Amino acid sequence: MSGILFHNVRLIDPASGLDQNASLLVQGGVIADHGSALGRPDGAEVIDGEGAVLCPGLVDMRVEVGEPGGEYRENIPSAALAAAFGGITTVAALPDSKPAIDDPALVRLLRTRGEETGSLTVHPYGALTRGCRGEELAELGLLREAGAVAFTDGARAIGPAKLMRLALTYARMFSAVIVQHPEEPSLAAGGAATEGELATRLGLPGIPAAAEALMVARDIALARLTGGAVHFAHVSTAAALELIRRAKHEGLRITCDTAPPYFDLNETAIGNWRSYAKLSPPLRADADRQAVAAALADGTIDAVASDHQPRDPDDKRLPFAQAAPGGAGLATLLGITLAQVHNGTIPLPRALAMLTAAPARILGLSCGTLAKGAAADLTLFDPERAWRVTAGALPGRAQNTPFDGRALEGRVLGTWKAGRQVFGANA
């Protein structure tokens, strides 16, 4: 049987703590072996990594794939292109599509659409409530059986405390995590930017940073009451992170992620009415950005997700308050995260843990590891190689990056899905 021998690579497997210059052998689509003295089996292709990093294919736990209902902004094949460019081989797809993923048949559809790409595994989230309308629980049990990895209403916060309590109680039966968009809806309604001096100068309706901490505090109390598991998505404020830090210390089932804009950009990015930097939650004051970076380093933040939200130019070429929030993120997830390695905030293995093993663990997935026998989902990247982000020239349909023009160090050289190269020089 033929195979692929990666040699002269720095193998980093955060799941096992492995970090060494060695070789890795792929056979039959799975990782057959790795070590420093691997021979070349007959017929195996040899890839000389020239010292580049080989790690598990990235696991992105927060992606809007555009299907169903938003295909003109992004669809699963186009998202798969952007993902492969970004070294991502597994995504968790948000359910607040049109229609929402509140029926088992839709869960199966998205999984199949992912399989059809041959390059990207799509794990759908199930809608927590019917139509993601925040009223009554969706059929969590049947959605779970169909393959929903966790439950959320996507970009919509689970508002009523009673509903969140019910969801956490009911989901316990399936050991399922509830993913919250932590923003108190009554404080956030109508807001376009973080409340503060900049929003005041621009005359934009504000969303106080406290809207996030309020929801986080409430849900921590409900997790304590119910014994349920809450995951807070794209956490962006110091106050919320402090609450999460304490809840974890208490031993509650609380996890969280953040997205690259929240440790790389601050609210000044919306200056000059740049609607591509209009996100939800909004970009924050720099003190909050620094707190997010610190939480990457101290482990309060478990995972980094792209929070890929495809938007059409027509969604963005509007007066700022009317423009749709959301940024494209698949292509830049690794590069922006590596900036925190280059500036000394976090070591490289810690960065990769937040992009592989941690999201897989939170969602109960078997991917995100270089263990022998695991599917050969692999990313080869040169952490030093420079490139520039250019809106309009990104892979996939969505071009609404908030990082337009940004120079990055760290570029994916190749991506493999189950042993098949899906991105890179020879793909």
Which residues make up the interface to other proteins (CB under 8 A)? Answer: 130, 135-142, 163, 166, 169-170, 172-173, 226
Q: Which is nearer to other proteins, 149 or 418 (CB)?
A: 149
Rounded distance, CA 19 to CA 361, Å?
20
Instruction: Say how many C-beta atoms besides its own lie within 10 A of residue 8's C-beta.
Output: 15
Q: Which is nearer to other proteins, 139 or 404 (CB)?
A: 139
Q: Which is nearer to other proteins, 128 or 252 (CB)?
A: 128
Q: Closest approach of Cβ 227 to other proteins, in Å?
A: 9
Q: What is the DSSP letter of 36?
A: S
Tokens of residue 35, six digits? 């070590």
DSSP result, 125-151: PEESBGGG-SSSB--HHHHHHHT--SE
Under a CB-based contact definition with an 8 Å cutoff, are residues 75 and 66 in contact?
yes
Single-letter code of the amino acid located at 101:
I
Under a CB-based contact definition with an 8 Å cutoff, are residues 237 and 288 in contact?
yes
Q: Is the peptide bond before 104 cis (omega within 30 degrees of 0)?
A: no
Rounded distance, CA 21 to CA 92, Å?
31
Q: Closest approach of Cβ 169 to other proteins, in Å?
A: 5
Is residue 409 helix, strand or coil? Answer: strand
Q: Which is nearer to other proteins, 6 or 170 (CB)?
A: 170
Rounded distance, CA 414 to CA 6, Å?
11
Q: Which is nearer to other proteins, 188 or 229 (CB)?
A: 229
Q: Which is nearer to other proteins, 137 or 202 (CB)?
A: 137
Tokens of residue 399, six digits? 């071009």
List the beta strands (DSSP E) in 96-181: 121-124, 126-127, 151-152, 177-180
Q: Closest approach of Cβ 142 to other proteins, in Å?
A: 5
Q: Closest approach of Cβ 128 to other proteins, in Å?
A: 10
Q: Closest approach of Cβ 134 to other proteins, in Å?
A: 11
Q: Which is nearer to other proteins, 172 or 218 (CB)?
A: 172
CA proximity to 213, closest of 239, 234, 194 = 239
Catalytic residues: 307
Q: Closest approach of Cβ 127 to other proteins, in Å?
A: 11
User: Rg of the Cα trace of the chain?
Assistant: 21
Under a CB-based contact definition with an 8 Å cutoff, are residues 326 and 400 in contact?
yes
Sheet holding 121-124, edge to edge: 58-63, 88-93, 121-124
Under a CB-based contact definition with an 8 Å cutoff, are residues 346 and 324 in contact?
no
Tokens of residue 227, six digits? 């014994």
Q: Closest approach of Cβ 230 to other proteins, in Å?
A: 15
